[in-house]
Structure 1
């Protein structure tokens, strides 16, 4: 287990390093002059050149990258090129919205996808199973923006159950209002991602229903449903856990779109704004933080899968 953890930690470190190189290089080849954007349209070439020197944009690209990476090791994500303020505190403030949104979306996706996926497999030869599978196919194909608009029309406009837009100015100091503001956005992401989880859960459950150990348990006296619950669902849970490592990326991408749609002050909305302002320092730090979250979740899923799956432990021993 120790060797496995060391290998995964090294893989995580390499992944973060490669991600930082890709993010940094990609932003440097985008068209446009950051100094010109910051200085304004009426700035003279001399003023733009002077500002470029003040911002350090005239230094070799390799040195700019090394300075940025060196700051990351100290917990310093750099300063905004537009506001000149530190980036780290602002990202931390926005994560207080994005992380709860992603967590609530994940819970919604699991609540929607896992039970309905198992039910669709159990009812595979009945009309109910076909209806669930067809609905999952349709919902999984819906863009997150459309799903959000449909849920707003239903729960906010028609039923008046949930707030449509905004987040409390005092944030989580009023947890009931903050939680209520995230329910509809979380349902938007959770519905789409839950449909994907449903399809994987159905497929895993179907394979378990035909497994020898489940059929043997049913043959010695357990009902088919009880045999599935006792001996089949642990294997299904491992499959769902493996899928979550991939779906987390979809949750964060959905958060970027949903934060715009529902006017939530999260990292996704800040990222879109900073891209428009060509604030490279903030954008590259925001992208690296989001990438790091995805890699950390993948690392946690790998470790948890290793702990829960006895087959992997026996293979390595």
Structure 2
């Protein structure tokens, strides 16, 4: 197990290294001049050149990359070209919105996907099970922006229960207001991701129902439902753990869009703003942090799958 963990950890570090190269190179081909943006529209060419020199933008690309990597190895994500504030500090501040949003969205997706997926499989020949399957198919095809707009219309415009946009200035010092501001965005992501998870759980449960060990347990006197719960769901759980890594990545991507729609001051909204202003050090740090988060989640899922599934340990 230790050897496997070290191997996966090495692959994680290699993935981060490759991602850093791709992020750095892709940002350098974006149109626009950072020096011109910072100096101002009416700045002279000499002033723009002075700004570029002071920011190190005239250095060779390999030197800029090594300087960035050197800072990363020291735990420094760099500083904003526009405001001068450390990128790490701004990421931590914005993560106070994005991380609770992602956690709440994942909780909603799990509460929808797992129990309703199992019920849909058990009732596949009934109206209820078929209805759940059809509803999941429809919800999985709904664009997340459209789902968010519909939820705003229902819960904010018609019912007036929840705020349509924004986040309280007091932040989490007022937990009730902060949580109310995140309910609609989390529902938007959680319902769509939950529909996708429901379809997967239904398929995995149907496959488990047809396995020999479930039929044998039923032949010994257990009902089909008890045989599935006792012997089939552990194997379904293994499949769900694997899919959760992809679900979390989907939730992070969805948060970038949803934070724009609901004007939440999170990492996603900050990233879009920084791309527009060509604040390269901030964009680099934000993209690498998001990439690292997804890779770490995949690493944890791999280890959890190895620990849960005895067949993999025996094969090793």
Q: TM-score range by the shorter chain?
A: over 0.9
- Deviation track 1:225-260 (CA, whole Å, cap 9, x = no partner) reads 111111111111111110111121110010001111
In structure 2, the residue matched to 1:172 is 172
Provide the rounded CA distance (Å) in 1 between the counterparts of 2:239 and 2:47: 58
Q: Which residue of 1 aligns with 2:120?
A: 120
Aligned to 2:26: 26
Write the deviation string for residues 77-104 of structure 1: whole angstroms up to 9, x where unpaired: 1111111221110111001111111111
Measure how far apart 1:105 and its partner are.
0.6
Q: Deviations over 1:165-213 (max 9, x none)?
A: 1112121112222122111111100011111111110110000000111
TM-score by length of 2: 0.98
For each residue in 1:6-54, what CA deviation from the matched residue of structure 2 results, as whole angstroms up to 9, or x when unmatched?
0010011001111111110000111111111111111111111110000
For residues 21 and 220 of structure 2, the distance between their equivalents in structure 1, rounded to whole angstroms, comes to 58
Find the counterpart in structure 2 of residue 268 from structure 1.
268
Would you say 1:95 and 2:109 are equivalent positions? no
Q: 1:245 and 1:86 mapped to 2: Cα distance?
A: 30
- The answer on 1:208 being equivalent to 2:208 is yes
The match for 2:54 is 54
- Structure 1 SS opposite 2:164: coil
What is the rounded CA distance, in whole Å, between the counterparts of 1:248 and 1:15 in structure 2?
A: 18
Root mean square deviation, CA, Å:
0.9
2:230 and 2:161 map into 1 onto residues whose CA distance is 38
Segments of 5+ residues of structure 2 without an aligned counterpart are: none
Distance, in Å, in 1 between the alignment partners of 2:188 and 2:42 is 43
Q: How does 1:110-189 map to 2 (within 5 A)?
A: 110-189=110-189
2:311 aligns to what? 311
1:33 and 1:177 map into 2 onto residues whose CA distance is: 41
The equivalent residue for 2:82 is: 82
CA distance in 1, matches of 2:218, 2:245: 32
Structure 1 counterpart of 2:68? 68
- Counterpart CA distance in 1 for 2:303 and 2:158 is 45
User: 152-161 or 101-110, which moves further after superposition?
Assistant: 152-161
* CA–CA distance in structure 2, aligned partners of residues 160 and 234 of structure 1: 42
1:41 counterpart = 2:38:
no
Give, in angstroms, the shift of residue 161 of structure 1.
2.0
Task: Give the distance between the partners of 1:284 and 1:143, measured in 2 at CA.
Answer: 28
- Give the alignment's TM-score, normalised by structure 1: 0.98
